[in-house]
Amino acid sequence: YVLMCLVITGMQSYDQIDLHAPFSVAFQNIGLGWADKIVAAGALAGIVTSLLGSLLGQARIYVTLGRQYLLPPWLARVNPSTGTPQNATYLTMCTAGFLALFLDIEVLAELVSIGTLVVFAMVCSGVLFRRYYVRGEGEPMRPVLLRLLAIIVTS
């Protein structure tokens, strides 16, 4: 990232950098139209790959939760011929499509940021819990959970 920042600030002044497509516009401004197309195609391929990886990963999480009966068991069904979780994939794709269709992109970006922050806070709290809790020893679970809840609320 540091090298990319150095390259783009070497190509043009920092106050002229386009926030939506910085490298594509920077190459266009210095007269390299062919590089502009390559950068735009690479960015598009990267975004599509990232989205598909995230959506398919979410389907696998639904399958695991369905197998443990934390979600309806029909989400755990896997196609016998292909080995893919069809029900979970359909649910994930329909949910993502619904959100993309009816919510503004700024709202979605804020929701993703908030969700990521909550997940990181929960993981950090879980690490703290596992660090200090020993099964069968020490104080009961309730005070430890109250302390973790206080940490989560204050963060």
SS3 of residue 59 by DSSP = helix
- Segments making up each domain of the chain, as ranges: 105-155
pLDDT of residue 141: 63
With beta carbons less than 8 A apart as the criterion, state whether 139 and 147 touch: no
pTM beyond 0.75: the answer is no
pLDDT of residue 139: 59
With beta carbons less than 8 A apart as the criterion, state whether 78 and 85 touch: yes
pLDDT of residue 117: 92
Residue type, 130: R
SS3 of residue 96 by DSSP = helix
Residue 146 half-sphere exposure, CB side, CA atoms within 13 Å? 5
CB atoms under 10 Å from CB of 131, counted, come to 8
Residues ≥6 apart with Cβ < 8 Å to 58: 92
With beta carbons less than 8 A apart as the criterion, state whether 89 and 82 touch: no
pLDDT of residue 143: 73
Written as tens digits, the pLDDT of the chain (155 aa) is 789 888 888 888 888 888 888 888 888 888 888 888 898 899 889 988 988 888 888 899 999 999 998 889 999 999 999 988 999 999 999 998 998 899 998 898 898 899 889 989 888 888 888 887 777 666 566 777 787 788 888 87
